[in-house]
């Protein structure tokens, strides 16, 4: 947008935030250009906070709440007002929320989850955002072909870290507790686990892989099946699934990590206080949030970026706590 007006990005920023150093003529030109591009509505006034829509699922998953808090903080630093749009099974759908979002004429949309992260899902709604020239940022793995800024964790690397940790503790019978079978992050973790197992000479049994929905209850119900598989370690696609699995394993009379080690994914803020404290793969929530906001602002200032797909990938970190330990077979061999 700055190039189209013939000014610097800093001038655009000063004009939109009502700061001095910009002539009235330049301010009017910038606003008229943004309206032509569909980036602001007639009711937007210079110096007032512009809106950015945050589209998220049920915030019962702590990692989504963490992203909302962090993204909102960075938006506020740019005089941007976050508008939280939460869809649930019994509430507004993602499609209806997007319809309401467009009526509010935000300068962009940041998605924390949605159909974009699911294989074979209908992605036509996102075309509406592109047609409106709205900068769009997707958090985490996204369907190939979607245009937008994609800020994601390297889930394959995170899975390999977790698998390597379990193997180093002597575990060879490792179960996988994953999300939906068509969910891209879960698919990536599954393929990475299988690839690592093949390299390490391990067998990942099909019956020791369970696909389910995300949540504590889903993790608990799904983990009950692992009691019959003789697994000594369980790698889960989220912290909620992992904590549900710990509860299920205990109900079967199994000790964590004495009998079965458990690893989660995300690193929710309260995990150090669980019993046992959960070993997990940490996503870089703060860095990803800052990058998501920066990416959105770049697209708002340079509409040429709207035609591009850009993947911004962050390295995860394995956080080892109390829920993983030496495999019981190793302990027996040592005796």
* CATH class name, domain 1-48: mainly alpha
The pLDDT tens digits of the residues spanning 108-136 come to 999 999 999 999 999 988 888 888 889 99
Lowest mean pLDDT among 88-102, 215-229, 278-292: 88-102
Superfamily of domain 155-282+319-334: Response regulator (3.40.50.2300)
For the chain, give the percent of residues with pLDDT over 90. Answer: 60
pLDDT at residue 19 is higher than 60: no
Residue 155 pLDDT > 60: yes
CA atoms of 171 and 282, how far apart (whole Å)? 21
pLDDT in the model for residue 41: 44
Kindly provide the residue ranges of all beta strands, DSSP E only, lying in 71-147, ordered along the sequence.
Answer: 80-86, 108-111, 136-139
Looking at residue 9, its pLDDT comes to 72
pLDDT > 80? residue 2:
no
Position with higher pLDDT, 40 vs 256: 256
Domain ranges of the chain: 1-48, 49-153+285-315, 155-282+319-334
What is the CATH code for 49-153+285-315?
Answer: 3.40.50.2300
pLDDT 10s digits, 71-114: 999 999 988 999 998 887 777 888 888 888 778 778 999 999 99
Output phi, psi for 111, to 5 deg.
-100, 130
Is residue 309 predicted with pLDDT exceeding 70?
yes
User: What is the average pLDDT across 223-228?
Assistant: 82
Q: What is the pLDDT of residue 27?
A: 73
Same fold, 1-48 and 49-153+285-315: no
pLDDT of residue 335: 44
- Across the beta sheet with 108-111, what order do the strands follow? 80-86, 50-56, 108-111, 136-139, 148-153, 309-314
- Residue 27 gets the label, from left (phi > 0), alpha (psi -120 to 50) or beta, of alpha
Between CA 193 and CA 187 the distance in angstroms is 10
User: 75: number of CA atoms within 13 Å, CB side?
Assistant: 25
Query: With 90 as the cut, is the pLDDT of residue 180 above it?
Result: yes
């Amino acid at each position: 947008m700055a190039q189209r007006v013939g000014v610097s990005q800093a001038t655009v920023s000063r004009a939109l935030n009502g700061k001095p150093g910009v002539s009235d003529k330049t301010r009017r030109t910038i606003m008229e250009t943004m309206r032509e591009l569909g980036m602001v509505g007639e009711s937007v006034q210079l110096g007032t906070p512009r809106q950015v829509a945050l589209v998220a699922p049920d915030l019962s998953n702590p990692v989504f709440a963490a992203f909302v808090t962090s993204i909102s903080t960075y938006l506020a630093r740019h005089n941007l007002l976050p508008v939280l749009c939460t869809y649930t099974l019994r509430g507004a759908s993602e499609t209806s929320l997007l319809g309401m979002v467009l009526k509010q004429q935000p300068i962009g949309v940041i998605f924390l989850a949605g159909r974009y992260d699911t294989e074979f899902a209908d992605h036509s709604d996102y075309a509406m955002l592109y047609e409106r020239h709205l900068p769009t940022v997707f958090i985490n793995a996204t369907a190939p072909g979607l245009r937008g800024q994609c800020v994601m964790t390297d889930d394959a690397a995170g899975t390999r870290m977790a698998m390597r940790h379990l193997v180093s503790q002597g575990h060879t019978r490792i179960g996988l507790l994953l999300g939906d079978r068509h969910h891209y992050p879960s698919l990536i973790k599954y393929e990475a686990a299988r690839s690592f197992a093949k390299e390490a000479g391990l067998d990942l049994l099909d019956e020791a892989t369970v696909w389910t929905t995300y949540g504590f209850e889903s993790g608990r119900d799904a983990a009950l099946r692992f009691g019959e598989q003789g697994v000594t370690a369980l790698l889960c696609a989220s912290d909620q699934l992992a904590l549900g699995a710990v509860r299920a394993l205990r109900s079967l009379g199994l000790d964590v990590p004495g009998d079965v080690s458990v690893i989660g994914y995300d690193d929710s803020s309260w995990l150090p206080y669980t019993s046992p404290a959960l070993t997990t793969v940490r996503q870089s929530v703060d860095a990803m949030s800052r990058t998501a906001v920066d990416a959105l602002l770049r697209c708002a200032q340079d509409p040429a970026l709207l035609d591009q797909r850009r993947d911004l990938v962050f390295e995860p970190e394995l956080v080892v706590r109390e829920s993983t330990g030496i495999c019981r077979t190793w302990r027996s061999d040592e005796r």
